[in-house]
Amino acid sequence: MIASAVEEQSVSTQNISENIVQVTQGIDKINENISQSSSVSSDIAKEICTVTDTANEMAESSAGVDVRSKDLSNLSERLMKIVNKFKI
């Protein structure tokens, strides 16, 4: 009877040990997935920063184009006034 109880206890302990191994492997897989997700999130954040920087540069360039187009328009108006003075 004691031998039977010890055998049952041994089987139960073995089952518990196997379950712990499975849970540990599952946790390791979860940790790996979290690490990969973190890496991907970091890459996405870097790409967003790059897009933001590029958008800001484009906005600055557009503002420069706007200023130069106004300058060109003013120059064109002055040139037209000069040309109109010489019309016969």
* pTM (predicted TM-score): 0.59
Distance CA 26, CA 20 (A): 10
- Whether 88 has a pLDDT exceeding 70, the answer reads no
Residue type, 58: M
| pLDDT at residue number 76 | 97
Tokens coding 13: 């302990």
- Whether 26 has a pLDDT exceeding 80, the answer reads yes
**Closest Cα partner for 17 from 7, 27, 9?**
9
Reported as a single tens digit per residue, the pLDDT across 44-86 is 999 999 999 999 999 999 999 999 999 999 999 999 999 998 8
